[in-house]
Amino acid sequence: MYCREADVVIVGGGPAGLAAALAAKEAGIDKILILERDTQLGGILNQCIHNGFGLHTFKEELTGPEYAARFIKRVKEAGIEYLLGTMVVDLSPERVVTAMNREDGLFTVKAGAVILAMGCRERPRGALGIPGFRPAGIFSAGTAQRFVNVEGIMPGKEVVILGSGDIGLIMARRMTLEGAKVKVVAELMPYSGGLKRNIVQCLNDYDIPLKLSHTVVDIKGKERVEGVTIAEVDASMKPIPGTEEFYECDTLLLSCGLIPENELTTGAGIEMNPITGGAVVDNTLETSIPGVFACGNVLHVHDLVDYVSEEAANAGRNAASFVKSDKNQNKSEFIQVKTGRGVRYTVPRKIAPEYVDKDVLVRFRVDNVYKDVAIGIAFDGEVARSVKKRTVAPGEMEEIRIKKDELSAHPGCKEITIAFV
């Protein structure tokens, strides 16, 4: 078997992988290798042809392919090596990456550091428990997006969408523009999982109704979808009898959440966070295996690609320091980051105080829609300060920065809690 080496191996050539590679390169690492399973770099951005990307990174509004192109151009100019059509099949705790492609067959790369940037995939119908037959015409929203935008095939004419995540909302507009009739978007939760701007510009602009606290209870049709029945759900998410409504349609799109794609991560025995579905990382984005870092949607699902790029650049820089430190960083003590009332998860989950530069960016999601809340940072149970927010929702990621001074002001702190106060 063909064996090779690289200082930094990046699994995935989407927005996270590209930004991580560039940052590692800028930090002085030369032997970088990106492994990408698709036939082009850019990942899912290639099919996200709508605009709204890059406001933070480039201060202008770009489409997905334009955003990707800017990073791809820089990766090519920097001479960073990448292999396309290459599937990574294994990662060992010793940082040996096993991959395969048509040219090289099965091969291994011994990596100084590894950056996991595999992204996420959509929750499929099988994971939703919708009764009914399995006719043609049921697609995840992202699959439909690829059909319409990349392959040029319309999946159907009359559409019902289950789930109001951003991809579902974007596809409601896209299908409408392409001449389909989108009859309704049903959302199980009492709030939308998507950005408010997408409710306005994708649903309201086209008079597409959004039914909150509703779900699909039956799919009619044996060969092809003929219609779906939607019912209201109660507080425990059980359908309320008598609220059923039948919608005639030939297509059902599912936009019911994204799941980080972590088979490699769990295969390597890396400690996982069951809430995010991603690895547990510290403030340098290092996982439980030294020299293996994670960033982007494989770590936790982001709302904005801009934040993915920012996080991935951080992972790239930290992977570079790991390699330069001769792969021997002694992180002796960690401060655990815990969640409290109202907060579902944080990334990172622990902080290595000696590896804090200026501050620690803690990203988190809340567990419900709240108005006028204060989010507190507590050091070993003492609330040091709080940040006020007008509205928070699970669909919009929040962040808080813990300054280095604050950490030094609490020497010996074991635990930081992020919670409503």
Partner 1 sequence: METRELICINCPMGCPLTVTIDGENITVAGNTCPRGADYGKKEVTDPRRTVTSSVYVDGGKAVKVPVKTASDIPKEKIFDIMDVIRKTKAKAPVFIGDIIVADICGTGVNLVATKDVERV
Using CB under 8 A, list all residues that contact partner 1. Answer: 46, 49-52, 55, 61-66, 69, 148-152, 177-179, 195-197, 199-201, 205, 303-304, 396
- Residue of 25, 286, 15 lying closest to 6 (CA atoms): 25
Return the closest-CA partner of residue 95 out of 315, 269, 351. 269
- Cβ 182 to partner 1 shortest distance, Å: 14
Q: Minimal distance in Å, beta carbon 277 to partner 1? A: 22
- Closer to partner 1 by CB, 39 or 236: give it: 39
CA dihedral 10, 143, 120, 172 (to 10 degrees): 130
Phi, then psi, of 291 in degrees rounded to 5 = 85, 0
Among candidate residues 4, 258, 260, 259, the one with its CA nearest the CA of residue 117? 260
CB of 44 to partner 1, least distance (A): 13
Continuous segment of H or E residues that includes residue 159: strand 158-162
Does residue 88 sit in helix, strand or coil? strand
* Smaller CB separation from partner 1, 52 or 156: 52
Which phi-psi region, left, alpha or beta, contains residue 95 (left: φ > 0; alpha: ψ -120 to 50)? left
CA 175 to chain CA centroid, nearest Å: 24
Closest approach of partner 1 to the CB of residue 251, in Å? 19
Nearest Cα residue to 123 out of 263, 305, 255 = 255
Q: Compute the least distance from the CB of residue 403 to partner 1, in Å.
A: 23
User: Which neighbouring-strand residues pair with 403?
Assistant: 359
**Structure tokens, 350:** 């622990």
Q: Which is nearer to partner 1, 197 or 414 (CB)?
A: 197
Nearer to partner 1, 110 or 389 (CB): 389
Shortest Å distance, C-beta 64 to partner 1 = 8
Rounded Cα distance, 358 and 290, in Å: 23
Nearer to partner 1, 148 or 219 (CB): 148
The residue (of 63 and 386) whose beta carbon lies closer to partner 1 is 63
Nearer to partner 1, 33 or 301 (CB): 301
**What's the min distance (Å) between Cβ of 300 and partner 1?**
17
Cβ atoms 134, 124 nearer than 8 A: no
